[in-house]
Amino acid sequence: MKYSNPVIKGFYPDPSVCKVEDTYYLVCSSFQYFPGVPLFESKDLVNWTQIGHCLTRESQVRLSGVNSSGGVFAPTIRHQDGRFYMTTTNDTTRQNFYVWTDDIYGEWSEPVYVDQGGIDPDLYFENGRAFFMSNGLDDDGVGGVIQCELNIETGTKLSPSRSIWQGTGGRYLESPHMYKIDGRYYLMAAEGGTEYGHMVIYARSESLHGPFESYASNPVLTNRNLGGYELQGVGHGDLVQDGEGNWWMLHLGFRQIGRWLTYHHLGREVFLTPVTFGEDGWFTAGHDGITLTGFNTDRIPDTTLQRVKKSETFENTDWNLDWCYLRHPSAANYRLAHGKATLTGTEVTLDTPASPTFIGIRQKDFDATISCEVSLTGTGEAGLTLYMDENHHYDLAIRRDATGIRAITRLNVGDIKSVEHQTALPGDSVKLLIRSGHERYHFFAVIDGVEFPLGTAQTRYLSSEVAGGFTGVLIGLYAVGRDSQAEFTVFECAYI
């Protein structure tokens, strides 16, 4: 079978995976968005279905006042004795914690906090004992991957935190994961920063606590030297073994907007790469240590069909799964029904690191046509936004003030916020249309079937290279204005 990467498209970074019986479960980072930590399942590793989130209650995670790309960092999912555990970091509060559930389709527990610093935590279980790892400083101030033993019921440390591996010397050691394979302990991590220098590294030991011997050909997986290639930023992986004994790595990467255009705005996505163990017990990954946009493999049956969703609508998406809010929303401002969303505006705008009236879905491919019927009552503004963060977003909206009602395009790039184009509307409703390409967005208001151009904007100004941070573009519905109410119908994002 030949499968295509990424296997989960759009802003779903820092994947972690575990297998229980014949099903794989995967979680991703969510940062300032709520609900937190998207949760997926799969039977074949190439087709993933979102089944929930791990953090669905305000009591589980603090997001108020969190800046973009703050909040919930890289999670790990593990299963032990019939129970699922998800451990993560709230980087804004500098707290590591985990939640658990006995029902993967149900609610998760309140957080259990761990008195160990660092980020990107991992849980490892052996012989009834639980061990917690993160990357940071140990109790003696030594940096690296740090480890302690935990009481898994309470989160209490049963041993000091100790640095067990310092990586290979690359910057930003992160994403530690521990495995026991054929009697040896393998410690996998990432270095280079989650950008163009990203890479996966590993070491092994005869003991859980080290010392660890680094793989001689590290990095085991990276696309860092492939200038001019569209797939970059490969790193932050997690290993899993399939039912036939084959090993795989789920990891992040990103797609540049073009072969020689070093910008990415869809976010870091989930990629699947084959892993092969040699007779000496060391493993290799990918095609000569790089990840491809597709792999031809006999590890997956030819009867497996990789499904691609080409159109997302209000009818074929789930408000509770596919869509998300900025930080903790005020539920009274949202009425979400089959085929329709009614949003009540507030004075909080998209330019504020707070919780405006906003609900968004991730953009999953470069080429798309995005449209929605929008009506507005009251004074204010409502429409579609292509949202990277509070300082970088493009808005196509209806705006009503004392001078009348208009369709506008506003470009927000850093400190520059400008209404570039506008056209008067004959009524209080309009179809808004965005045509998306690799390099540009094109904006239109459709009145009585006629498209009125409202300008274009370069995608690069919503990229991580310009905006910074760790997220990707969301297609958002929003409303602003204390006495405004907006109704959204006939939404579609059709990928080409």
Residue 41 is assigned to a structural domain of this protein: yes
Are 309 and 321 a contacting pair, CB within 8 Å? no
pTM of the complete model beyond 0.95:
yes
Q: Among the three residues 230, 262, 296, which one is the final residue of a domain in this structure? A: 296
Residue 303 is assigned to a structural domain of this protein: no
Split into its structural domains, the chain has a count of: 2
Residue 305 is assigned to a structural domain of this protein: no
Same domain, 239 and 327: no
Are 488 and 372 a contacting pair, CB within 8 Å? yes
Same domain, 269 and 389: no
Q: Over 90: is that where the pLDDT of 227 sits?
A: no
Catalytic site residue 174?
yes
Query: Cα–chain-centroid distance for residue 23?
Result: 21
> HEC string of 433-449?
EEEECCCEEEEEEEECC
pLDDT of residue 228: 87
pLDDT of residue 123: 98
Residue 439 is assigned to a structural domain of this protein: yes
Cα–Cα distance, 248 to 242 (Å, whole number): 8
- The letter for the amino acid at 391 is N
Digit-coded pLDDT (tens) for 265-309? 999 999 999 999 999 999 999 999 999 999 999 999 999 999 999
Same domain, 257 and 129: yes
Same domain, 66 and 163: yes
Residue 427 is assigned to a structural domain of this protein: yes
Same domain, 292 and 315: no
CATH number of 374's domain? 2.60.120.200
Q: Among the three residues 296, 321, 352, which one is the final residue of a domain in this structure? A: 296
Are 435 and 457 a contacting pair, CB within 8 Å? no
Backbone angles phi, psi at 461, to 5 degrees: -80, -5
Banded pLDDT at 190 (limits 50, 70, 90): very high
Same domain, 333 and 249: no
> HEC string of the chain?
CEEECCCECCCCCCCEEEEECCEEEEECCCECEECEEEEEEECCCCCCEEEEEEECCHHHCCCCCCCCCCCECCCEEEEECCEEEEEEEECCCCEEEEEEECCCCCCCCCCEEECCCCEEEEEEEECCEEEEEEEEECCCCCEEEEEEEECCCCCCECCCCEEEECCCCCCCCEEEEEEEECCEEEEEEEECCCCCCCEEEEEEECCCCCCCEECCCCCCECCCCCCCCCEEEEEEEEEEECCCCCEEEEEEEEECCECCECCCCCCCEEEEEEEEECCCCCEEECECCECCCEEECCCCCCCCCCCCCCEEECCCCCCCCCEEEECCCCHHHEEEECCEEEEECECCCCCCCCCCEEEEEECCCCCEEEEEEEEEECCEEEEEEEEEECCEEEEEEEEEECCEEEEEEEEEECCEEEEEEEEECCCCEEEEEEEECCCEEEEEEEECCEEEEEEEEEHHHHCHHHHCCCCCCEEEEEEECCCCEEEEEEEEEEEC
Same domain, 320 and 377: yes
pLDDT of residue 225: 93
Residue 11 is assigned to a structural domain of this protein: yes
Banded pLDDT at 89 (limits 50, 70, 90): very high
Cα–Cα distance, 274 to 22 (Å, whole number): 18
Q: What's the mean pLDDT when you consider all of the chain?
A: 97
Residue 306 is assigned to a structural domain of this protein: no
pLDDT of residue 47: 98
Residue 475: domain span:
311-495
pLDDT of residue 483: 87
Residue 252 is assigned to a structural domain of this protein: yes
Same domain, 279 and 160: yes
Same domain, 285 and 329: no
Q: Among the three residues 268, 296, 324, which one is the final residue of a domain in this structure? A: 296
Are 350 and 395 a contacting pair, CB within 8 Å? yes
Q: Over 90: is that where the pLDDT of 491 sits?
A: yes
Banded pLDDT at 353 (limits 50, 70, 90): very high
Cα–Cα distance, 383 to 358 (Å, whole number): 10
CATH number of 107's domain? 2.115.10.20
pLDDT of residue 449: 94
Cα–Cα distance, 466 to 460 (Å, whole number): 7
Strand order in the sheet with 174-181: 174-181, 184-191, 199-205, 213-214
**High-pLDDT (> 70) share of the chain, %:** 100
Banded pLDDT at 316 (limits 50, 70, 90): very high
Digit-coded pLDDT (tens) for 157-189? 999 999 999 999 999 999 999 999 999 999 999
The residue from 44, 122, 174, 390 that is catalytic is 174
Q: Over 90: is that where the pLDDT of 98 sits?
A: yes
Catalytic site residue 14?
yes
Same domain, 23 and 51: yes
Same domain, 80 and 167: yes
Same domain, 386 and 245: no
Digit-coded pLDDT (tens) for 388-444? 999 999 999 999 998 899 999 999 999 999 999 999 999 999 999 999 999 999 999
